[in-house]
Amino acid sequence: MNGGTSPRQRLWLDPRTKILLLLLCILSAMMALSLYYELGLVVLIGLFGACCGKWKYAWKGAAFYGLIVLLTFWIMDTMTGTWRTMFITFLGLFHKVYPCGMLSGIVISTTKVSEFLSAMNRVHAPKNLVIPLAVMLRYIPTIQEDWRFIKDAMRLRDVSPSLKGLLTHPGMTVECIYVPLMMAASKAADELSIASITRGIENPKPRTCLVQIRMGPADAAAILCFGAFFAAGLYGKGVFG
């Protein structure tokens, strides 16, 4: 049962499953024993992304991580002293963040807002938190779009939207970026809230959704994969360490 919305038969997962996968991934990354283990995790995430139809993203993400791992080995071998410490501190952070960032990129880009809201409704998450979160995820691409328009408008008026402009006319540049962005945001807030009230977001009855939100065999398989990987890290110290 694949939800039935995607034209091509891609892997379709319940949003709740995706959140669980994200949690497992964070846990795995937190207690990762070695770089090989982390590399395995990234490859697993890449496979997951490929199954969800994000071939390019998965491939690029895994390749980039491979390069970073090589760089890490090189630094561990050759560098000494303060520089080594600095790089180790930074790369330590990087290796922790990267797998989860990659997975959440996949999760966010493959989950529709309505699916997310229905699933959250199912687990009885507080509405006061879910609505802002859904709005936020929806609004981030809009900011990118707005930014492009603002840049064009600034060029039209001879205000340079570059770093040089920022340094020579800081007040003007800052105002020209913030004011339209925030004006647009507060207008969008008004319009979006009117739109969502019209569509019945305040309706106290349980929410319905065209896409059937349910856990299927695919969800079980995905959870099993990530769970097994986590367990392998937890118990198989001899193998990876």
Partner 1 sequence: MSSQANSLKKGLTVKDLVTTGIFSAIFFVFTLIGGLPFAPNPVLTFYMPMGAALLCGPIYLLMVAKVQKRWSVTILGIIMGIIWFATGMHWAFSLGYIGMGIIADLVAGAGHYRNKAINLLSYMLISLGGIYTYVVFFIDPEGWASTMLDNGTEQSYIDTMSASAPSWLLAVIVVGTLVIAAFSGWIGGKMLKKQFEKAGITA
Chain residues binding partner 1 by CB under 8 A are 22, 25-26, 29-30, 32-35, 38, 72, 76, 81-101, 104, 107, 127-129, 131-137, 139-140, 142-143, 174-175, 178-179, 181-183, 185-186, 188-190, 192-193, 196-197, 201-202, 241
Nearer to partner 1, 140 or 156 (CB): 140
Nearer to partner 1, 96 or 122 (CB): 96
CB of 234 to partner 1, least distance (A): 15
CB of 24 to partner 1, least distance (A): 12
CB of 82 to partner 1, least distance (A): 5
Nearer to partner 1, 22 or 218 (CB): 22
Decide: helix, strand or coil at residue 99: helix
CB of 2 to partner 1, least distance (A): 25
Distance CA 133, CA 117 (A): 10
Q: Which amino acid is at 66?
A: G
Residue 106 burial (10 A CB sphere; 0-12, 13-18, 19+)? buried
Nearer to partner 1, 59 or 170 (CB): 170
CB of 34 to partner 1, least distance (A): 7
Nearer to partner 1, 43 or 216 (CB): 43
CB of 120 to partner 1, least distance (A): 12
Nearer to partner 1, 1 or 83 (CB): 83
**What distances in angstroms separate CA 11 from CA 26, 47, 52, 54, 145, one per listed residue?**
22, 11, 5, 11, 29
Write down the H helix ranges in the chain: 15-30, 35-51, 55-78, 81-110, 113-122, 127-156, 163-168, 170-198, 217-235, 237-240
